[in-house]
């Protein structure tokens, strides 16, 4: 299954009543409680769920949470490593490592998705270049808050916003757990209290397209954007460039793209009188 299709297929499985979805390299495994009516979409809409490619089996009940935890491993993104709390005691950080304790839970962005890893790598590069310490950073669509927390741990003044109140609460909890200060606010990009020097937004392609101008306006220096599928990369980049963005760096992983941009200089910038 193409990586960029997994989120769509998983969304249909949840909507059909799944009580759990497990993303594996070549397939998605979904669990349904015995007797649950299962309403999957028509095959022409989501061919991955067509009858010929489905496989059903009955599972004996067991400690599903323990089984799930056994599949979770620390995630490396540059010098940042995200570790779940149940592995914290056995984790030995490298000398230059930033260790963040974040559990998979009710908000997106625990580092186990390529888009989060790509954003963390780009933030790490900014830090190595001396462009995070003491600067203002806004994480738009913060989910677990891991990007804002990583920036704050590197010395930035971090704000996190999300339209989901649960994500805001999770961000506050994770910031406290990691001993950093993050201002978490419910709302969209318009809730960033003042233009930040760096804005990072791990969203989805269509949201990037619709918010391109607002995201660029929210940053006084650099903008990091991900959640963009390779297949629809042009949709996001066209909108960002139309809003006046200049592409500085592109990074790809597992069918997803992250980009680093800033406002393009005007044609007459620097011209003498």
Q: What residue ranges define each of the domains in the chain, with the CATH number in brackets? A: 3-68 (no CATH), 74-263 (3.40.50.150)
pLDDT at 87: 94
| Residue 124 structure tokens | 């790490």
Sheet holding 75-77, edge to edge: 75-77, 80-83, 98-101
For residues 135 and 131, what is the distance between their CA atoms, to the nearest angstrom?
Answer: 7
At 100-109, the pLDDT tens digits run 999 887 667 7
Predicted confidence at residue 51, as pLDDT, reads 62
Closest CA to 199 of 243, 135, 249: 135
Residue showing tokens 């200060």 = 181
Residues 39-72 have pLDDT tens digits of 776 655 678 777 666 777 777 777 766 776 787 8
pLDDT the model gives residue 194: 82
Q: What is the per-residue pLDDT across 155-206, written as a single tens digit (0 to 9) for each?
A: 999 999 999 999 999 999 999 999 999 999 999 999 987 889 999 999 999 9
Average pLDDT over residues 97-124: 89
Measure the CA–CA gap between 201 and 157, rounded to whole angstroms: 16
For 203-217, the pLDDT digits (tens) are: 999 999 999 999 999
Return the structure tokens found at 242: 């139309």
What rounded mean pLDDT belongs to the chain?
87
Answer with the residue of higher pLDDT: 76 or 61.
76
Picking from 22-31, 108-117, 185-194, 248-257, which range would have the lowest pLDDT averaged per residue?
A: 22-31
Percent of the chain with pLDDT over 90: 63
Determine the angle formed by the axes of helices 165-177 and 146-153, rounding to 10 degrees: 30
Length of the chain: 273
**Backbone torsions φ then ψ of 222, nearest 5 degrees:** -125, 150
Task: Quote the pLDDT of residue 45.
Answer: 67
What pLDDT sits at residue 139? Answer: 98
């Amino acid at each position: 299954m193409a990586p960029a299709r997994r989120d769509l297929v998983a969304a249909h499985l949840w909507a059909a009543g799944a009580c759990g979805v497990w993303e594996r390299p070549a397939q998605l495994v979904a669990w349904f409680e015995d007797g649950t009516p299962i309403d999957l979409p028509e095959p022409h809409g989501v061919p991955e769920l067509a009858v010929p490619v489905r496989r059903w089996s009955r599972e004996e009940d067991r400690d599903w949470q323990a089984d799930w935890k056994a599949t979770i491993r620390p995630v490396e993104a540059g010098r940042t490593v995200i570790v779940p709390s149940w592995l914290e005691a056995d984790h030995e950080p490298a000398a230059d490592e930033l260790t963040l304790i974040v559990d998979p839970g009710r908000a997106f962005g625990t580092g186990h998705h390529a888009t989060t890893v790509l954003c963390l790598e780009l933030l790490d590069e900014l830090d190595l270049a001396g462009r995070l310490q003491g600067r203002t950073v806004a994480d738009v669509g913060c989910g677990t808050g891991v990007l804002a927390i990583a920036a704050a741990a590197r010395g930035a003044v971090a704000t996190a916003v999300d339209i989901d109140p649960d994500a805001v609460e999770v961000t506050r909890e994770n910031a406290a757990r990691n001993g950093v200060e993050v201002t978490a606010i419910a709302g969209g990009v318009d809730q960033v209290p003042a233009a930040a020097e760096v804005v990072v937004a791990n969203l989805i392609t269509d949201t990037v397209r619709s918010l391109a101008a607002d995201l660029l306006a929210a940053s006084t220096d650099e903008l990091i954007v991900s959640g963009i599928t390779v297949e629809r990369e042009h949709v996001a980049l066209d909108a960002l460039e139309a809003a006046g963005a200049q592409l500085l760096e592109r990074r790809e992983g597992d069918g997803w793209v992250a980009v680093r941009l800033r406002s393009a200089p005007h044609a007459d910038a620097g011209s003498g009188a």
